[in-house]
A and B are shown apart, each in its own frame.
Chain A
Amino acid sequence: MTKIIVDDVEVDVPADYTLLQACEAAGAEIPRFCFHERLSIAGNCRMCLVELKGAPKPVASCAWGVRDCRPGPNGEPPTVVTKSPMVKKAREGVMEFLLINHPLDCPICDQGGECDLQDQAMAYGVDSSRFHENKRAVPDKYIGPLVKTSMNRCIHCTRCIRFVAEVAGVPDLGATGRGEDMEITTYLERAMGSELQANVADLCPVGALTHKPQAFNGRPWELIKTPSIDVMDAVGSNIRVDARGREVMRVLPRVHEDINEEWISDKTRQHVDGLKLQRLDRPFLRENGRLRPATWAEAFAAIAAKLKGADPKRVGAIAGDLAAVEEMWALRSLMTALGSPNIDCRQDGSVLSPAHGRASYLFNPTIAGIEEADAVLIVGANPRREAAIVNARLRKRWRIGPLPVGVVGERVDLTYDYAYLGAGPESLAQLAKGGEFLDLLKSAERPLILVGAGIAARPDGAAVLAAVASLAAAVGAVTEGWNGLAVLQNAASRVGGLDIGFVPGEGGLAAPAMVEAGALDVLFNLGADEIAISPGAFVIYQGTHGDDGAHRADVILPGAAYTEKSGTYVNTEGRVQQTNRAVFPPGEAREDWAILRALSDVVGHRLPFDSLPALRRELHAAHPHLAALDEIAAGDGRATLDAWAALGGSASSAGFVSPVADFYLTNPIARASRIMAECSALHVTPALEAAE
């Protein structure tokens, strides 16, 4: 710890702090453009100049370490002044230089109202310019469908370049030229190839990079901001839903240090136009082979008529990837009341089960815990596609220090170096027998074994999990204080569904068996669109979008998307979080738990709750850990290893394949989105074609 005096306030800060951090610790506000807490230091905007006693000139506080400061003549701590006339003049001068080439675009600029340059020009600038020559003009660049450029406005802070190079890990942005001729460019005028690219528009302190889909759509001060949780993947990124009237205009990240820091993936951010396309806004009923609009009463009556004579053993329910815990609980209660054991929340046919303990389906080391891992083995997952935020965290850990990473599965670009160990279960068995990488894992103090949820959905899933368990036990992945077994889920609803036991009961059928022809008479489909249902059964589809599930349905009940209800989601770490309602569901659509409650009355098994708080009281009484928001209830890792090891079967030789073939089109909302379709056509289709 080093003492330093900032504006007559003496503070004690670590020696590796920069002056900027020391000033903030002392409560002084330092303006900045290029400095960002999560990126490397560039020191090129000069806005953070402060006066350091003894230094002949103002110093850039972001790039000056506390340990570089010289003590006073009598050994007193170094003194920094942030409010002196010299600092004020320095800031005014820097601001005047920055504004020389900045156009007066504010009235037509999408950054207007949330612009760092606007705010800091008001706070630290002067009211006029002495520059009377022509301003510099820079051609706009094409850098993809998500980020719009207006390069005249660029002040060369290089935050975007540093983000793309450091966090996203792709070589797509750079600068050409020097001084006034410097230009930010992709060199080749092609789209950036990262799943995190839209974050550069958030980072841009001016309006040079803005969100293309939201161009000229609204102003920040007319938006209602609702904190919420993302459901596009199982990471549970913290987001802010900005709505105007009844429309979600955009999604922005919220800071959560343990999950997404302050990044979100492009799918999380730009699927929002899918929320207003292909919406189910009224009940539908199939008559004479055709779906026709119906009233709620007609739809419920049709369901009740079908359920009345049905054998409970031939009634089933499948919950999809976007369902909140509340509606799964309501549906589970209804199926229990009907006497049916056929419920499943794993539409991919996974063998992950609460029977193996809670640790068997969680990302046990936690996402923040990735930074503590000292060796990583990725089995059958492509974290870049299945959870881009987790992949960014892995890359962050890889950049901090040497991190041996091994991959068994697909050979893809993960944005960090790894040792490729093979494609399938045979390679996994080979690895367990010995070799260089096994030694690395064994010598590691905190080895992390990242298991893709896709491997548990294989026909030989049980055998593969048993192999993983024996490997994890061999390398000591589960010890006192460290559980390195990390199951990377890819569906937002999955952990919540497994937590409340939305799995087949005694003698019940699992999802793949339920959808087989002749297995069931009545199937309740709660938003499961990624599973093909054979003809025969009477299918009730409750969901938000007209996707595959709606086309197969005999009755459609319109539900609410995650921005339109308050729902509990448990992320892949087991962290319990809640979404909030930002807008109302369209048309006659209702919140999902309320639909099930109303339906239960019509079919004669009235559920015992009349409000969301009452439902949650019952839910929390049965599963107390769901009441603790933002908390993780850890599972027993050793019990999981034992349970997995007891699973038998023989593994096939087929290689592991990530269940997420197309990052941009994984759920009904994203598939309805035009932006996501454009991104998919741009990035995924050419890659798939090249692979063929």
Chain B
Amino acid sequence: MKLIDFLTRTFTWWNGQTWGTYWYTRRRGERVGEDELGNVYYRATDHMIDPSMGPERRWVVYNGLADMSRVPPSWRGWLAHTHNVPPSEEQYTPREWEMAHLPNMTGTPEAYRPQGSPSASGRRPAATGDYVPWSPDEGAAGRAG
């Protein structure tokens, strides 16, 4: 283990896993599969002690930044108990409307801007009170119409 991994696992929760998760996964986790981003999915080996207390526990150890939006739709369905067959055990083909992963871009230059926003097009849409100033470079042919 590299020193940087030891330090991030000790002092941060947002990179991969913490020591607590690491030990829990070592003791109880059963590896189910891995997605295309390298996130690894586990389920508890002993299930619950009493099944009536709820369904089995499932979790993900991120490959890098712990960002929920990095879980692909197929694995998210399994994690959230929408279906019980993990995508690694079936021939899963995404629907045409299921888009490839795009992380949350809020706060970055690629953040979503609604239609008509000056930041989206770089131009402010026309509004009441606007006028077109004359510019001497247009020449007489620059008249409207």
Contacts and interface: CB of A to CB of B under 8 A. Distances in A.
Given A673-B144, A673-B145, A677-B144, A278 B136 contact: no
B129 interface: yes
Contacts of B136: 284, 290-292, 546, 550-551
B144 A281 contact: no
A274 interface: yes
Interface residues on B, range: 10 to 19
B129 A245 contact: yes
A226 to B, nearest CB: 16
B143 interface: yes
A246 B133 contact: no
B131 interface: yes
B23 to A, nearest CB: 65
B145 A677 contact: yes
Chief secondary structure at chain A's binding surface:
mixed
A277 B129 contact: no
Interface in B120-145: 128-136, 138-140, 142-145
A587 interface: yes
Contacts of A250: none
A397 interface: no
Interface in B25-61: none
Contacts of A278: 132, 134, 142-144
A281 B133 contact: yes
B129 A279 contact: no
A641 interface: no
Contacts of B130: 247, 276
B66 to A, nearest CB: 49
A546 B131 contact: no
A530 interface: no
A282 B133 contact: yes
B134 A279 contact: yes
B3 to A, nearest CB: 61
B145 A678 contact: yes
Contacts of A277: 131-132, 144
Nearest to A586: B131
Contacts of A244: 128
Contacts, number: 64
A277 B133 CA distance: 7
Contacts of B145: 673-674, 676-678, 681
Contact of A279 (B128, B133, B139, B143): B133
Contact of A551 (B129, B131, B139): B139
A356 interface: no
A676 to B, nearest CB: 8
Contacts of B135: 546
Interface string A229-260: 00000000000000011110000000000000
Nearest to B135: A546
A676 B142 CA distance: 16
B133 A587 contact: yes
Interface string A280-299: 11101000001110000000
A206 to B, nearest CB: 27
Contacts of A290: 136
Given A244-B128, A247-B128, A678-B145, A548 B140 contact: yes
Given A277-B144, A548-B140, A247 B133 contact: no
20 contacts: A244-B128, A246-B128, A274-B144, A276-B130, A278-B134, A278-B143, A279-B131, A279-B132, A279-B133, A280-B133, A280-B134, A546-B138, A551-B136, A551-B140, A671-B143, A672-B144, A676-B145, A677-B145, A678-B145, A681-B145
Given A291-B136, A546-B142, 8 more contacts: A278-B134, A280-B133, A280-B134, A281-B133, A290-B136, A587-B133, A674-B144, A678-B145
Interface of A: 244-247, 274-282, 284, 290-292, 545-548, 550-551, 586-587, 671-674, 676-678, 681
Interface of B: 128-136, 138-140, 142-145
The 5 closest A-B pairs by CB, nearest first: A677-B145, A546-B134, A246-B129, A291-B136, A276-B131
